[in-house]
Amino acid sequence: MKKISVLAVVGVMFGVSAFAGPNANNTNNNMNNANNNMVTVMTVEQVRGQNDDTPVVLQGYLLRQNGENSYVFQDATGTINLEIDDEDWGGLTVSPTDMVEIWGEVDRNGMSMIEVDVSAIKKI
């Protein structure tokens, strides 16, 4: 009887852990997914040459907010607009002096308009 109880408790522990794991922290999962897909850090210049919906990772600085969900990002090669929805911040507060890492996708709106639709952000 005790063996069955111990097995039941262990089974419940693993079941709860497996249930909570995939969605426990959406921001970390987005970051881990980017890492698992072997996405390498790009420069703004490199991002400008990418096709629509290409996954990208950038490192640099958020200079300023440019609209409701629009921000200006800068690295050593230039600037680009980012779209960061409220839920993608995960409670993070960033100043222009904080280096950040951005995960997202290229969003091309015609030939001249390009931005990155951000799925995750963290300070580095």
Predicted confidence band at 113 (pLDDT cuts at 50, 70, 90)?
confident
Residue 31 lies in a domain: no
Positive or negative, the Cα torsion across 73, 42, 107, 116? negative
pLDDT tens digits for 40-89?
Answer: 999 999 999 999 999 999 999 999 999 999 999 999 999 999 999 999 99
* Count of domains observed in the chain: 1
Segments forming the whole domain that contains residue 81: 36-123
Nearest partner of 47 among 88, 76, 89, 86, judged by Cα: 76
Residue 10 lies in a domain: no
Residue 77 lies in a domain: yes
CATH number for the domain harbouring residue 73: 2.40.50.200
Query: pTM of the full predicted structure?
Result: 0.69
Residue 101 lies in a domain: yes
Residue 103 lies in a domain: yes
Amino acid 108: pLDDT? 92
